[in-house]
Chain A
């Protein structure tokens, strides 16, 4: 399903999607995408890390207008608050009625839409966390 892997955003080396961010070795601040300089303490000593795949919906909205005719609307975008304590912007693929601020979600990789030329757009998104057992 996923045709390309964008370096530093995610890959499937481990058989599961992963978000690559950075962690400041000096002050511990985490970033997505990875930063070369810490915005908090200005240190350039940054470690590449894999961020948590779980989080909660921090803010979301349903988008109804189409930027190109291949867009399937409505779709949902938002900020997910990762377990690492930082938010990241993301497509959220959940039934609209189950979505609230605070809803637990997990990372997934796949096709998030179509380019104007009809080609599949690979990327990451978050879906509802399914509790086992």
Chain B
């Protein structure tokens, strides 16, 4: 692709009652512009992702509300919703826009404020038979965990290691919601949400925002920061087979194949990965979808330490959704930002040494046991 990432901005993730949705978005966007060394007038296209504001804040077209406050106006502004992969979908759209020549510099903002009194655990699919039966998102993933454990002989202790790893990584990230390391026993002894998933096996709900500036790659060196290049940008949706697999996300495999072909690399070339660990089981299944492990062998990566910082292929050095937090609309861009930081060599104490190729994977939503959307972005220095 002919696109580069040249500006990064993120807020602290967590419970941030003192900041409004607009203030969160503005903080991240301002930081991204500053990092790129540009002003509001330099942005030619903007995509803004958010999921819950129409329900929780009675707001819509939140992109314009944030950007106009910053002095970014008159340009095309696209508001994007694609569940958890909303902002990675916004990033995908912005990459397409740059690639198509619709503009040379674009801003992508992801923002969410979930921790308000009206909020409850997310329903899997309101109004569908799943909801009538009592499904919720944790239950939908617990079903997958049980199916996976049944099929491949994995136990709950293996799954718990994912939370231990990501909390350890998150303890090194000043923007993470949870910064205290935990043990396997902590994970297993925390209250059961939907068996076998305990509270510490599930990502939290969060407030937060993240933003990136991207540009046509030929002009990337004009900006203040060290550029990171986008070598693949893929968005796909699920196929909703019945019976559903439940122990794999078929869309992961298709998206990964397409992204690796586009980038001209394979899973063995990756130095660092951010992926969608909404629940511990999800990280294991995504290892397999991305080709980091063969199907049924995912837990080995975490059991043998490969995906810990210091291992062969560190996964979720930011702490992932489990530790950094999961403000739905901000997560996809936060993942892109972490990979860009790693490839710039600016990730501080959680830096993966010599990282040159990185991948960000996000999955949005759950429908009939399948993924509503999957995004994969591959970056290189």
Q: Interface residues, chain A, CB within 8 Å of chain B?
A: 9, 31-33, 39, 58-65, 67, 71, 74-75, 77-79, 81, 85-91, 101, 112-113, 123, 125
* Nearest A-chain residue to B244, judged by Cβ: A87
Q: Which of B130, B134, B144, B243 contacts A86 (CB 8 A)?
A: B243
CB distance from A125 to the nearest CB of B (A): 8
Task: Please tell me if B349 contacts chain A, counting CB pairs below 8 Å.
Answer: no
**Contacting A91 at CB < 8 Å: which of B133, B142, B147, B196?**
B133
Cβ contact within 8 Å between B143 and A78? yes
List of 7 A-B pairs having minimum Cβ-Cβ separation, nearest first? A61-B142, A62-B195, A59-B147, A89-B130, A64-B192, A59-B143, A87-B243
* Pairwise interchain contact A77-B143, C-beta atoms closer than 8 A: yes
**B143 and A65 contact, CB distance less than 8 A:** no
How far is A24 from B196 in the complex, measured between Cα atoms in Å? Answer: 37
Whether the pair A67, B135 counts as a contact (CB closer than 8 A) is no
CB within 8 A of B191: which of A64, A77, A81, A113? Answer: A64
Q: Chain B: which residue is nearest A75 at the CB level?
A: B134
In the assembled complex, 14 residue pairs joining A and B whose CB atoms fall closer than 8 Å, in A order, are A9-B129, A59-B246, A61-B142, A61-B194, A62-B194, A63-B138, A63-B193, A65-B138, A67-B121, A74-B192, A77-B135, A79-B243, A87-B243, A101-B150
With A32-B129, A63-B134, A75-B134 as contacts: A58 and B243 at CB distance below 8 Å: yes
Alpha-carbon distance A33/B136, docked complex (angstroms): 19
Q: Is the CB of B147 within 8 A of A101?
A: yes
Would you call B369 an interface residue if the criterion is a C-beta within 8 Å of the partner chain's C-beta atoms?
Answer: yes
Q: Which chain B residues border A9 with CB–CB below 8 Å?
A: 129, 132
B293 to chain A, nearest CB (A): 22
B240 at the interface (CB under 8 A from A): yes
A101 vs B147: C-alpha distance in the bound complex, in angstroms? Answer: 8
Chain B residue with the shortest CB-CB distance to A100: B150
Which of A71, A89, A90 has the most B CB atoms < 10 Å from its CB?
A89
Chain B min CB distance to A103 (Å): 12
**Interchain CB contact under 8 A, A63 and B136:** yes
A90 proximity list for chain B (CB < 8 A): 129, 133
Cβ-defined contact, B134 with A77, below 8 A: yes
Complex Cα spacing A93 to B195, Å: 16
Query: Across the interface, do B129 and A64 meet the contact criterion of CB distance under 8 Å?
Result: no
Interfacial chain B residues near A78, Cβ < 8 Å: 143
Give Cα distance in the complex from A77 to B134, angstroms: 7
Assembly CA distance A75 to B136 (angstroms)? 12
The answer to whether B146 touches A60 (Cβ under 8 A) is yes
CB atoms of B136 and A89 under 8 A apart: no
Q: State A67–B196 Cα separation when bound (angstroms).
A: 18
From 310 to 365 in chain B, residues with beta carbon under 8 angstroms from any chain A beta carbon are none
- Tell me the complex Cα distance, A33–B133, Å: 13
Shortest distance from the beta carbon of A115 to any chain B beta carbon, whole Å: 12
Hey, which chain B residues are within 8 Å of A101, CB to CB?
A: 146-147, 150
Question: Could you say which residues of chain A place their CB within 8 Å of the CB of B134?
Answer: 63, 67, 71, 75, 77, 91, 112-113
C-alpha spacing A3/B139, complex, angstroms = 27
- Contact residue among A39, A64, A88 (Cβ-Cβ distance under 8 Å from B195): A64
Judge if B58 is at the interface, Cβ distance under 8 Å. Answer: no
Would B244 and A61 count as touching, CB distance under 8 A? no
Most buried by B among A31, A71, A75, A87: A87
Closest Cβ–Cβ distance, residue B118 to chain A (whole Å): 14
Contacts of A89 in B (CB 8 A): 128-130, 133, 135
Interface: B55 (CB within 8 A): no
Inter-chain CA distance A79–B147, complex, in Å, is 10
B contact residues around A125 at 8 Å (CB):
133
Confirm or deny: B242 has a beta carbon within 8 angstroms of a beta carbon on chain A. yes
